[in-house]
Amino acid sequence: MKVIHLKKDQFHKLADSVIAIGYFDGLHLGHMQLINEVKKISQNTGLKKGIMTFDKHPQVVFGKDDFQYLMSLEEKMKMIEQMDFDYFFIIDFDKEVASYEPEVFIQQYIIKNYIKYVVCGFDFHFGNQGMGHAQTLQKYAKDHYQVKIIKKYEIDHKKVSSSIIRHYIHEGEIEKANQLLNRPYRITGRVIHGQKNGHKIGFPTANVEIGQYVVLKRGVYAVYVYVNGLCLKGMANIGMNPTFGLLHDISLEVNIFDFDDNIYDKMIDIDFIAYIRQEKHFHNIEELINQLNKDQKDIVQLLE
């Protein structure tokens, strides 16, 4: 797959292609309706398959620096490559690009990059103040390209969207989020040094940088951990470690079952499978250890 950064006034000599356009945070089941349509059109026309997305979410461009993502751009790229796509277009998005009139945006990013078919969602917006929409793409298509608009995709009479998935994650309803993602919600982060309290009580944990991912509801989760080429069971805690009372910010700590390798500074993947219980303060260490033993037993049974 060829990764193409679309900068202002730069064009690329490419084969004719069909693309899906959007931000695609999470690449959830709703997004897959567009992806599958691109595959279908490519098969019928011989056009190369592509995705066109943005390097930053529009909310970030307009000042929401604490915006939380369902997945990183790198993860998005990896998933699309696994689907055997030919092109991954990344628009370098800033306030100037956001202010383009819809016709300018279309000329710059669609027509000049040899895109012959555009697949978009019914609610796609672009250009100055979001004035461009799916019908705008149709209006300026002429003989340059064709447009396919994908209608709203629902499960249980609810629109599948990145925002509802974020809501489920915030509320600890990880199973519902995973259903809409069609895979476990994943955080990829670097293992950093922590307080080492887990080591002291027989439950060593890897402290993982959360970065700009959507933060889950505080509590204990059943997880799979991918490290050193292995897939391992574990339990993760999202919270403030109230029994020890030493933290000032939300942390992600993972106890990986039957694993004691030194993985400081390594990047690991954590797939969240189920919410086990809320975070709570224990009156003493023995009470905490008893609860952790129970959590571990419950999680092993659940993951089996």
Structural domains of the chain sorted by starting position, each given as residue range(s) with its CATH number in brackets: 2-158 (3.40.50.620), 162-303 (2.40.30.30)
pLDDT of residue 241: 65
With a cut of 90, say whether residue 11 has pLDDT above it: no
Using a 10 angstrom Cβ sphere, with 0-12 exposed, 13-18 middle and 19 or more buried, the burial of residue 299 is buried
**pLDDT for res 59:** 87
On the question of pLDDT at 199 being above 80, the answer is no
pLDDT at 174 over 70: yes
Q: Considering only CA atoms, which of 290, 211, 210 is closest in space to residue 254?
A: 210
What is the arithmetic mean of pLDDT over 262-269? 93
% pLDDT > 70, the chain: 94
H runs (alpha helix) in the chain: 29-45, 58-61, 73-82, 95-98, 102-105, 134-139, 162-170, 174-181, 197-200, 285-303
Least confident of 150-154, 272-276, 286-290: 286-290
Dist CA 1 CA 86 (whole Å): 5
Q: pLDDT tier at 247 (50, 70, 90 boundaries)?
A: very low
**pLDDT for residue 132:** 93
CA 221 – CA 238 distance, rounded (Å): 8
pLDDT band at residue 261 using 50, 70 and 90 as cut-offs: confident
Using pLDDT thresholds of 50, 70 and 90, give the confidence band for residue 198: low
State mean pLDDT over 14-20. 96
Taking only the tens place, the pLDDT of each residue in 205-242 is: 889 999 899 999 999 999 999 999 999 999 999 987 64
Residues in the chain: 304
Of 4-8, 18-22, 133-137, 190-194, which gets the smallest average pLDDT? 190-194
Q: What is the Cα–Cα distance from 282 to 291, expressed in whole angstroms?
A: 9
Contact 166, 141 (CB under 8 A): no
Beta bridge partners of 256: 234
The angle subtended at Cα 148 by Cα 147 and Cα 150, nearest 5°, is 145
Q: What is the DSSP letter of 100?
A: S
Q: Is the pLDDT of residue 185 over 70?
A: yes
Contact assessment for residue 12 and residue 81, using Cβ atoms and an 8 Å cutoff: no
Query: What is the model's pLDDT at position 12?
Result: 81
Q: What is the pLDDT of residue 205?
A: 86
Predicted pLDDT of residue 129 = 86
* Phi, psi of 275, deg, nearest 5: -85, 125
Nearest-CA neighbor of 237 among 210, 262, 261, 260?
210
Burial class (CB in 10 A: 0-12, 13-18, 19+), 261: exposed
Q: Residue 37 — pLDDT band, cuts 50, 70, 90?
A: very high
Q: Quote the mean pLDDT of the chain.
A: 91
**What's the confidence (pLDDT) of residue 202?**
63
CB-based burial label for 276 (10 Å; 0-12, 13-18, 19+): buried
Q: What is the pLDDT of residue 240?
A: 72
What six digits make up the tokens of 184? 């476990």
Q: Is 243 or 158 the better-scoring residue by pLDDT? A: 158
Cβ partners under 8 Å of residue 82, min gap 6: none
Among 205, 203, 289, residue whose Cα is nearest residue 251? 205
* DSSP result, 208-259: E--TTBPPPPSEEEEEEEEETTEEEEEEEEEE--TTTT--SS-EEEEEETT-
Please compute the mean of the pLDDT values over residues 75-96 and round it to a whole number: 96
What's the rounded Cα separation, in Å, for the pair 299 and 221? 8
Give pLDDT, residue 10. Answer: 76
Each residue's pLDDT tens digit, 99-115: 999 999 999 999 999 99
pLDDT at 246: 52
